[in-house]
Amino acid sequence: MTELTALYSLEKLLAMDGIDELDKMSAEVNPFWNRARLDVTWSLPVMSGLTKNSRISIQQMREASRNELLVFHDKSYVETLDLFGNTGSAFSARFGLDTAECPIFQDVHKYASLPVGGVIDATIGVSEGKFKNAISFAGGFHHATESQAAGFCYLNDTVIAIKKFKELNPGKKVLYIDTDVHHGDGTQMAFYDDPDVLTISLHEMSMGFFPGTGRVEEIGIGEGKGYSVNIPLPPLTDDVEYWRAFEDVVVPIWLSYKPDFVFWEVGADAHMDDPLADLMLTYDTYHRLSMTIRQLVHLGNRKLVAVGGGGYDPVTAAKVWTIVLTDLADIALPPILPAEWIRLAQKYGFKVSRGGWTDRPRRMDDENHPKVKRAVDDAINKVKELIFPVFGLEK
């Protein structure tokens, strides 16, 4: 069996200049679609020398074909996105396009399509044994639905890749686990009635927090009832409370379901430094997540594809995804962050406060602990009540 971890390069995205035009047209920088974010996140594994490691196989993204996109997305929506990408014009409001989160800019259809092609190839490569596992930093666009863009997401790469996997491997069971701070609503919706795709999402939930879905009671319908699992967490959830939810809920359901293939939407935005969210995770939890997920995958059929998802502090996102990359490839991180990468981050105006891969452990204030613990307890107990019987687990 191959020991290669496939890493999908961001070079093709960086070679285009549509996001530079977007920056010139906008009063504020788009938190996701901007050059600094792409450059800083891709440059860290490159400047750390990891892309030259013999255990890592660098793969280039490709644009997904029209037929691949139509596996999930509405034809009119795909055609409209193409039209905008070629600087055309069309009625866009019904498709969620040309908003602050999902703006229209030069080659937007290529920016959206390249990650999809990469994640499809990663999925097929891992399923056929070409790679041990795979990761694409650009992927996990979990808010996109059949005919709607939302939350920086134009095309839902994981839904398309899962559907392609199911076409090639009928009857196989897929686990989609989402640790992005935002609920994976589009992906959940795509498989809401399908017992062969178990979706599990741990996410922040609070008043007005995007996308406003992901309550415990959203458990699926029809044959899929019980196969959508949501673990909503309150603001200020720290490493300890987060990990309690993961071990008490995710691990037993995973072990009972016994998936044949695993997708992991990582999301670096649950980290305490992310500007768009309010959870308090540290790098230690991301490392623990990747090691535990790798262990659980190893106990099964050993098929895993990871995608970056959200993360709006580029320094944090770069470190989180590079930590996950090295864990998947079973190689060591360099002792310190590369000096040239720190200079690059600073050139873009980002602060790098520590020269290593860790951050200071942090606990929530004592006054908040009882409220947060009570909310996490409530989520755990509700999941056990609604979901555990489906998998023959005791509450």
Residue numbers annotated as active site: 143
Tokens 């230690």 -> residue: 284
Buried b (16+ CB within 10 A) or exposed e, 182-209: bbbbbbbbbbbebbbbbbbbbbbbeeeb
Distance CA 56, CA 3 (A): 9
Which residue from 151, 223, 222, 217 is spatially nearest to 187, judged by alpha carbons? 151
Which residue from 211, 237, 58 is spatially nearest to 141, judged by alpha carbons? 211
Which residues does 122 contact at the CB level (< 8 Å), separation at least 6?
Answer: 6, 8, 59, 131, 134, 135, 136, 161, 305
How many contiguous H segments (helices) and E segments (strands) does the chain have?
Answer: 14, 8
Distance CA 225, CA 140 (A): 24
Distance CA 370, CA 93 (A): 43
